[in-house]
Amino acid sequence: MSEPFEPKIVAFVCTYCTYAGADLAGTSRLKYPPNIRMVRLPCTGRISPMFILKALQKGADGVLVSGCHPGDCHFTQGNYHARRRWTVFRALLNFTGIPLERIRFSWISAAEGVKFAELISSLTEDIRKLGPFDQYKAMIHETEAPVSL
């Protein structure tokens, strides 16, 4: 009937590690699915939970947040702060029914081109299996519907 479902995944990445890792994946000609839209930020510490909500609001089926391994932060501590924030925000999303399979977190260094490619492949596959985030999309759709009263 219609085209097969292609998930839309937004990735918020730190420019020093994961973005460089993605770059390495590219220059190494590693293959990974094209479902990812990357947003590059100076540090994972800059990644506000607002970004994740905004991605969902704009219709993302999955979100990846990724940065430097602990201890490797360009700004020394940004990712430690980010880690606490993610822990809490993840619990909140879980409690309000946003499936954790859709919101993922990872550490990928500039040298881990292979890890990046593999993660994107497995993440895309996982979300493809989950299907579109219909529950959230229904809520978005409701805002576009004409007057109901």
Partner 1 sequence: MTKILLRDRLDDCITRWHAAGFEVIGPVSKNNISQFAAIEKADELDLGAILPGRTLKDLFFPQTEPMFRYRIGKQQIDTEEYLPPERQRIVFGARPCDASAMAIDDPLFGWDYKDSYWFRRRNETVIVTIACTAADEFCMCTSLKLAPDSTLGSDILLRPLEGNRGWLVEELSQRGSEALSRIEALLEKEAAKPLPPADVPVKFDLEACREWLQNPENFESHFWKEISMRCIGCGTCTFLCPTCHCFDFQDEGDTYTGIRRKNWDSCSFALFTMHTSGHNPRSTQSARWRQRIMHKFNYFPGKFSLNSCSGCGRCTRECPVDMGITETLQEITKLSK
Partner 2 sequence: MSIQEQYRKRAAELLASGEVKIIIGYGAGSTPDRRRALFIRSAEDAGLLQVDQACDANLSGYLVSEGLLSDRKKVGIFLRPEGIRSVNILAAESQLDPLQIVILGFSDENGSLTPLQGSSVSDFSALISTLKERRSTPEEQELVEKIEGMTPEERFAFWQAEFAKCIKCYACRQVCPMCYCKRCIVDNNQPQWVQTSSHTLGNFEWNLVRAFHLSGRCVECGGCDRACPVNIPLRLINRRMAQEVLEAFDYFSGMSHTQEPVLASFKKDDPETFIL
Q: From the CB of 99, what's the least distance to partner 1, in Å?
A: 24
The reply on whether position 146 binds partner 1 by CB under 8 A is yes
Closest CA to 97 of 139, 128, 66: 139
C-alpha to C-alpha distance for 56 and 139, rounded to whole angstroms: 11
131: tokens are 């299907």
Using the minimum distance from each CB to partner 1, give the nearer residue, 69 or 137: 137
The reply on whether position 147 binds partner 1 by CB under 8 A is yes
Using the minimum distance from each CB to partner 2, give the nearer residue, 3 or 97: 97
Closest CA to 45 of 18, 17, 16, 85: 85
Query: What does 70 interact with, of partner 2, partner 1, none (CB < 5 to 8 A by kind)?
Result: partner 2
Taking CB under 8 A as the rule, which mask of x and - marks residues 71-110 in contact with partner 2? x-----x--xx-xxxxxxxxxxxxxxxxxx---xxxx---
Neighbouring residues of 43: CB distance < 8 A, sequence distance ≥ 6: 14, 15, 16, 67, 73, 74, 75, 78, 79, 82
Taking CB under 8 A as the rule, which mask of x and - marks residues 85-124 in contact with partner 1? ----------------------------------------
Q: Phi/psi at 130 (nearest 5 deg)?
A: -65, -30
